[in-house]
Chains A and B, each alone.
Chain A
Amino acid sequence: MIEIEDRVFTALADATRRQLLTRLAQSSPQTATQLAHEFPISRQGIIKHLDRLSYAGLVRVQTRGREKRYVFDPTSLQAASAWIETIGKQWDERLQRLKNLVEDDSF
């Protein structure tokens, strides 16, 4: 589990991979060839990114004949997303308290 979350953050640190994942979240399954039509990178480049997403557990691979189809898998994303949102909310609350403190006349 811990290793999976580690991989999720590494996989999501790249903007192209986030876009690929968003595309797959909208419509799955898709092949690398189909995705290559929609992104300004080669099919080989797409496959490299999909491998990273697969390693992170964010997409699953279905093999049908010679063709690999990629399916969005939200399970590991849910844990990572909820965690990062929690940390973001904590910072929002702290910054709001900082603002209240500094803007107070008695500061």
Chain B
Amino acid sequence: MEAVVLERSIVIAADRERVWRAITTPEHLAKWFEPIRFERLAVGETLTFGWGGEGSIALVEPMDRFGFRWQIAPPHPAQTLVVFTLETVPEGTRITVTEQGFEALPDEVREIRFQDNTQGWEHMLDSLSAYMTSREP
């Protein structure tokens, strides 16, 4: 069974150690992401988000990968999996974030109001494909 995976990335002019610190330390996470509380950086550790949602750490591979599950639309319990992957590139560090598990969409999502589509369907399919890749989980 393949999963729909959303993938985005950016290159940062800094070494992996700095980027790793920024994505795994509550103090730094609060500055670029949102307030996230956890006791230890360890798989299975509970995460509490500033907006009240909960999650858990799913993956800790120092300097390489950090992953967690979080509620897709609280208070619904459905969760998606977010994974950050770091790689060294000539300009510094590329960080790639993937999010998957959208197949478990909760009811709340349907309440989101969508903007009118003013672009062609073909373009929409292209951009949708660009956001997603197919892969074995």
A interface residues with partner B (beta carbon < 8 Å): 1-2, 5-6, 9-10, 12-15, 18, 21-22, 25-26, 72, 74, 77-88, 91-92, 94-103, 107
| A85 engages B131 (CB within 8 Å) | yes
Contact A15 B22 (CB under 8 A): no
Residues of chain B with a CB closer than 8 A to A98's CB: 10, 12, 19, 22-23, 32-33, 95
Per a CB cutoff under 8 Å, which of A79, A81, A103 touches B13?
A103
B contact residues, total (Cβ < 8 Å): 44
Q: Smallest CB-CB separation from A99: which chain B residue?
A: B12
- Contact call B95/A88, Cβ cutoff below 8 A: no
B22–A12 touching, CB < 8 Å: no
List 11 extra interface pairs beyond A2-B107, A77-B121, A107-B18, CB under 8 A. A6-B104, A79-B110, A81-B127, A81-B128, A82-B114, A82-B117, A83-B112, A84-B4, A85-B127, A98-B22, A102-B12
Question: Is the Cβ of A2 less than 8 Å from the Cβ of B8?
Answer: no
**Residue B61 is within 8 A (CB to CB) of chain A in the complex:** no
A101 to B131, CA, bound (A): 25
With CB as the reference atom, state the residue of chain B lying closest to A103: B13
Q: Which 10 A-B pairs have the closest CB atoms?
A: A97-B32, A82-B114, A95-B10, A98-B32, A91-B8, A13-B2, A13-B4, A1-B110, A25-B121, A102-B14
Shortest CB–CB separation between residue A95 and chain B, in angstroms? Answer: 4
Q: Which residue of chain B is the closest to A3 with respect to CB atoms?
A: B105
The answer to whether A9 and B14 have CB atoms under 8 Å apart is no
Q: How far is the CA of A94 from the CA of B109 in the complex (A)?
A: 21
Chain B positions 94-137 with a Cβ under 8 Å from a chain A Cβ: 95, 97, 99, 102-107, 109-110, 112, 114-115, 117, 121-122, 124-129, 131-132, 134
